[in-house]
């Protein structure tokens, strides 16, 4: 079957038009007008992931993070990133990325986070689109199914995302947490919306030092579990692909990348 048939079904679920303006989603490398047998999901497209894809004879990579986020100025293959692009082309591996659109879409990454953390009836944190009279937004906010102290909820976050540690921004670790806002990736710029909507706690990655001070000054606690919790994409999109595989009798092999692309280690 053609790669375009798989991506057509994917975009019925997660349209490119839901991405934030300027976000480089969609096909990055190769062509969708190609017969494929094996599809692999991944959070990141890194040289190690490409080696894995080559060894497993993958035809199509579906990634959360766009591999070409900033334009390449040169294509010299002494540069590891450029060599990775060359390897993908040489081995005829196509790469498609869903970035902020998978954050925004219903039954997408932020909704999956809420399910794992017990955040009930979540609503979007900040509006991004209105399409045919329907509103869409990034991030989620809702109430915990069970109120917890910040220290206990922090332990839950670590358990759910299999973390050794996470950064916590708070004055009082015994405060009761009921309303939680969350945005996967680097969502610190949306913290004013979390405040405005009455969040007791905001969860997002890559919180900047001075932003943390601002959060404290405004009485907002936060947990930074890191950017890599978005690896949930790899599992969940593989599950959806396998469901569509059966429903449509595609007879594809669906794989999940087994490479750990988290650049941060705790020692």
Residue 140 and residue 145: Cα distance in Å, rounded?
15
Q: Given the structure tokens 């710029």, which residue do they identify?
A: 189
Q: Name the binding residues.
A: 65, 103, 227, 230
Q: Are strands 176-183 and 201-204 parallel, antiparallel or unpaired?
A: parallel
Listing DSSP states for the chain in one string gives -BHHHHHHHHHHHS-GGGSPTT---EEEES-SSSB-SEEEEES---HHHHHHHHHTT-SEEEESS-S-SS--S---TTSHHHHHHHHHHHTT-EEEE--HHHHHSTTSHHHHHHHHHTEEEEEEEEEEEEETTEEEEEEEEEEEEEEEEHHHHHHHHHHHTT-S--EEE-S-TT-EEEEEEEESSS-GGGHHHHHHTT-SEEEES---HHHHHHHHHTT-EEEE--GGGGGHHHHHHHHHHHHHHHHTT---EEEE-----------
Residue 239 and residue 237: Cα distance in Å, rounded?
5
Q: Name the binding residues for a divalent metal cation.
A: 65, 103, 227, 230
């Amino acid at each position: 079957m053609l790669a375009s048939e798989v991506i057509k079904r994917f975009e019925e679920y997660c349209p490119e038009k839901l991405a934030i303006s300027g976000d480089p989603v969609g096909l990055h490398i190769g062509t969708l007008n190609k017969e494929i047998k094996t599809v692999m999901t991944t959070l990141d497209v890194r040289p190690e992931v490409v080696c894995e894809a080559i060894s497993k004879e993958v035809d199509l990579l579906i990634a959360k993070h766009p591999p070409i986020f900033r334009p390449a100025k040169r294509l010299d293959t002494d540069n590891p990133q450029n060599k990775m692009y060359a390897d993908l082309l040489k081995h005829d591996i196509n790469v498609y990325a869903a970035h902020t659109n998978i954050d925004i879409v219903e039954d997408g990454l932020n909704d999956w986070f809420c399910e794992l953390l017990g955040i009930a009836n979540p609503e979007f944190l900040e509006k991004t689109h209105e399409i045919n009279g329907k509103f869409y937004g990034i991030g989620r906010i809702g109430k915990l199914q069970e109120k917890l102290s910040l220290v206990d909820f922090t332990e839950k976050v670590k358990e759910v995302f299999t973390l050794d540690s996470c950064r916590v921004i708070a004055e009082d670790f015994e405060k009761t947490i009921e309303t939680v806002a969350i945005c996967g990736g680097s969502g610190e710029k949306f913290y004013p919306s979390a405040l405005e909507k009455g969040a007791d706690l905001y969860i997002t990655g890559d919180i900047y030092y001075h932003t943390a001070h601002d959060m404290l000054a405004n009485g907002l606690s936060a947990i930074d579990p890191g950017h890599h919790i978005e690896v949930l994409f790899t599992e969940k999109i593989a599950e959806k692909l396998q469901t569509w595989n059966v429903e449509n009798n595609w007879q594809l092999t669906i794989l999940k990348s087994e490479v750990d692309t988290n650049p941060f280690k705790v020692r």
